[in-house]
Chain A
Amino acid sequence: MLIVFCTYWLFRSSCRIQNLLLLVASYVFYSWWDWRFLILLIFISLFNYLIALKLGASKTLWHRKVFLITGLIINLGTLGLLKYFNFFIEGFIDFVSLFGYQIEGTTIDIILPLGISFYTFLSLSYLLDISRGTISADKNLINVLLTLGFFPIILAGPIQRPATLLPQIRTPRVFDYQQVSDGLRQILWGLFMKIIVADNLSPFVTDVFGSYSGLQGSTLFVGALFYSVQILTDFSGYSHIAIGAASILGFRLMQNFKAPYFVRDIVDFWRRWHISLTTWFRDYLFLPLSFSISWRIKTGKVLLIKTELFIYIIVSLVTWFLTGLWHGANYTFLVWGLMHGLLLILYRIQAKPRKRILKKLNIDKDNIWLTISEGLLTFLFIVVTWVIFRSESVNSSIEYIKRMFSSSLFANPGDLPVKEITFALLFLIIEFIQRGKNHALQFDASVGVFIRWSIYVSLVAIILFFGGSANQFIYFQF
C-alpha cells in the first residue's frame, strides 16, 4: 500500500499513469486471493465496457433495450450461475419432492469468486445509468476497468456508483493534505473496529452459535448481542478502511454506515446500515418498480387496500426478498430480508394511527422515554434477525431464538469475556459520541495536537497488543 501510495503521488502530473498504476494495483490485490477470480473480473469488465459503448451509441429505444437486457442477463446470469445455481437446483428438488416426485439434479462444485455481488452491482449501475442518460459510456478502457475493479471497493464495497466514481477517475487528483490525513485516520479507526472489536468477539460468537443447544438463554442473548456488534464492526470497519484507502489516493467514496444501532426505528436503521446497498436497491429496483406498477393500476384500492399502500407492500417484499438473496444462497438470508421488509411495512401502516394515539395521550413524539423504548425495541428486533442471518439454517435459528427467550434468559450467563466486553462497550461509547461524524477519529479543531496524536498512538498500540486472531471479513463471502 505504501509503495502504491508513494508511486501514485509521484506521478501526480499524469492522470493516465496514475489510473494505470491503480488498475495494476487493483488487479494484483484482487488476484492475491486466487488469480483465477481475476479472469472472471476482467471478462465481466471488458464485456461491460463493450456493451456500454453499444448502449451509449444506440440510436433507437429498441436497440437500447436489446443492449441493456443483454448486459443485465450476462451480469446477473454470471452471478446467478456462480452464486445461486446450486441453491435453486436443490430448492427445486425439495419443492418437487413435496408432491411425491423424486428427481435428481446436477450441482456445480465451484468456489464463489470474492466480491462478485459487489462488482456485479457496480456493473449493473454502470449500464443502467448509461441507459437512463445519467452518465455517458466511457471510451477509455482503463477508466472503465478501474471503475469496476477499484481495489478499495472490489471485495466488500461500498458499492460506489460509477456516476460518482467515473468523473473522479477521469479528472486529475490533487494531493490534499487534509483529505489524505483524514483517510489515514479513517483507516486506523477501521482497523480498530475490525481487529480489536470484531476479531476479539469472533471466538465467543463462534462458540455460542456452534453449541447453542446446550447453553442458557442468557448466554445465547449475549452471543446474539456480541454478533450484532461483531457484524457491525467487521463490515463497517472494512468500509472505513476502504473509504480511507480511497481518500489517501484522492478519491471520495460514499459513507456506508452512520452509527446504525443508535436509531429510533427500522427506517432510520436502513438509512444508516450498508447505505450503498440500500440506496442501490432503492434507486434501481424499489422506485422504478413502484412507478412501473403505479402506472398500471388505475383504481384507488386493490384488495381493499389503498393502491399506494398495496404497491408499497408488494414492492417492499420484492426488494427485501432480493436484498436477502443478495447476501447469499441460503434461506436464512431470505428470511432475514423478508423480516426486515415486513417490519418496514408494519412501520408504515402504523405511522398514522400512532400519531393519533400519541396526540390523544398527549405525548410528544420526541419524548425521551418514547424514543428510548422505541430504539430498544428496534434494536431487539435487529438482534433477533441477526441470529437468523448468522445461523446455518432457518431451523437452527428458530431453535436458537426459542432457547434464547426461554426462562433461562434470566439465568446467570456464566463467565463472560471481560476484555471483549470492554472493547465492545468502548467502541459503542465512542461511536455514540462521534455519531455525527464520518468516522470516530474526526476531531474538532479545539482538540490539541498532543491529545490527537496520543489517541492515534494509543490506538496503534491497542491494535498491536490486543488484536484478535485474524479472521476474514464477514462480507467477503457475499
Chain B
Amino acid sequence: MRTFLLKLLLFIMICITLVTGMIHLSDTLINSRKDRLLTINPDIYLVFAGNSTVECSVDDRLIDHSINIAQAGEAYLYSYAKIKALLEANAHIRNVFISYSYADLLIEKEETWLLGDYFMVEKVQNYNYLLDRQERLFLIRSNPAAYLSGVTKSVITSFETVARSFGTEGHGNSIPNFGGYKRLERDKLSKDPGLETGSDEIVQQSTSQIRYLRMISELCQQYSVKLVLLNPPKHKSYNANVNPVIRQLWLDVQNSLPSDSLLDLSGFLMPDSCYGDLSHLNYRGAVVFSRHLNEILFADPKENLETSIN
C-alpha cells in the first residue's frame, strides 16, 4: 500500500511538472509573438467586438476599414482583454463598437458566458495569454475546474497560433482565434421562443458584466478611442416583448456611460428571412445590415464618424 501511494505520488508529481512546464512554455512563446499576432492592417480603424449578436450581423468585408472580433458567448471580461490587447498593439484604432443587447447585462449571461463550464473553457483556451492577473484570479475563484481545463487546453491552441504566425507577415485583416464574422445559415425564427427578455420574473443584473463594460469604456477613454454601444437588429416580436425592467436597466447603464454613444439599431426593419432567430441575423440579414451600417458610417466622407452615429 505504501509503495503504491509513493509511486502514485511520484507519478502525479511528474505529470504536474510536465503540464506546468508546457503551460509556461506555451505562454512564454505566445507572449513573445504577441505584437506580431495582434498587429492589424493600419487601414483598419473600426473594431466590432462582443458576442454573437455582433458576430453574426457585422460582416467586416462589407464595412470599410473594419475588423470584427466578436465571438459567440463572449462576456465583457474577455472583450475587455481583447480590446485592451488590440489597442496596445494598434495605435491607429479610432472606434470600438461593442455589442450591447438587452440581455447582455443579466445574471443569466454571467452564469453561462462568464462562469459556466463550456464558455469558460473555450474562452480561457483562446484568450488566457491576454488575461491580467486580476481576471485570472477572478476566473479561478469562480470556477477553478473549468479555468484549469481551459488553461491546459490553451497550450495546444497557443502552440498552433505561434506556429501559424511564422507563416504570416503580420498586419493582417484578422487575428487567429479572435472570433470574427460568422455566417449564420439557420432560419429558426418560428422555433425561437425569445424568452430571455420576455420573462416577468425578477430581473437580476450581472455586476461582472456591468463592471467590465465600464472598464472597456475607461480603457477606450484612456486610449482616446470612441466607444459605441451597438444594439444590432432584433426581430420585431423580440423588441415588442422586451421586459420593461430589463429595458430600463439597459438604458440606465448606458446613461451612466455618458462619454460613449449608443447605436441602437434593434428596430432596423428587415424581412423574416433575414433572421436566424429572434435576436440574431442570418447571412442574408448580415449582408443587408452591414451595407446599411457602412452607409451610416461613411455617408459623408467629410463628416465626422461620431456625428454620423449620433
Measured CB to CB, the residues of A under 8 A from B are 9, 175, 177, 180-181, 184, 453, 456-457, 460-461, 464-467, 469-470
B265-286 residues with Cβ-Cβ distance < 8 A to A are none
A304 to B149: give the CA distance in the assembly, Å: 64
Partner of A180, one of B4, B14, B152: B4
CB distance from A35 to the nearest CB of B (A): 21
Given contacts A453-B11, A456-B11, A457-B14, contact A469 B121 (CB under 8 A): yes
Contact flag A461-B19 (CB < 8 Å), given A467-B149, A467-B153, A469-B118: yes
Least CB distance from B1 to A in Å reads: 5
B155 at the interface (CB under 8 A from A): yes
Q: Nearest chain A CB to B116's CB is how many angstroms away?
A: 12
- Contact partners of A461 in chain B: CB under 8 A: 15, 18-19, 22
Q: Are A175 and B155 neighbours in the complex by a CB distance under 8 Å? A: no
State whether B4 touches A464 (Cβ < 8 A).
Answer: no
Q: Which residues of A contact B307 (CB under 8 A)?
A: none
Our pick among A175, A184, A467 for the contact of B1 (Cβ within 8 Å) is A175
25 A-B residue pairs with CB within 8 Å: A175-B1, A175-B4, A180-B4, A181-B7, A184-B8, A453-B11, A456-B11, A457-B11, A457-B14, A460-B19, A461-B18, A461-B19, A461-B22, A464-B19, A464-B153, A465-B22, A465-B153, A465-B155, A466-B153, A467-B149, A467-B152, A467-B153, A469-B118, A469-B121, A469-B122
Instruction: Evaluate contact between A465 and B156: CB separation under 8 angstroms.
Output: yes
A470–B156 CA distance with the chains assembled, in angstroms: 17
Residue pair B117, A470 in contact (C-beta under 8 Å) = yes
- Nearest-neighbour CB distance to chain B for A191, whole angstroms, equals 13
List B residues 161-215 near A (Cβ within 8 Å): none
A9, B3: Cα distance in complex, Å: 14
Q: Which of B4, B14, B22 contacts A177 (CB 8 A)?
A: B4
Docked Cα-Cα span, A465 to B149, in Å, equals 8
Q: How far is the CB of A212 from chain B (nearest CB, A)?
A: 14
For the complex, give the distance between the alpha carbons of A184 and B7 in Å: 12
Give the nearest-CB partner of A462 in chain B: B156
> A466 is contacted by which of B1, B3, B14, B156 (Cβ under 8 Å)?
B156
Q: A457-B18, A460-B19, A465-B22 are in contact. List 14 more A-B contacts (CB 8 A).
A: A9-B1, A175-B4, A177-B3, A177-B4, A181-B7, A453-B14, A461-B18, A461-B19, A464-B152, A467-B153, A469-B118, A469-B121, A469-B122, A470-B117
Interface string of B100-136 (1 = CB under 8 A from A): 0000000000000000011001100000000000000
Residue of B nearest to A184 (CB): B8
Of chain A, the residue at the smallest CB distance from B186 is A211
Q: How far is the CB of A206 from chain B (nearest CB, A)?
A: 14
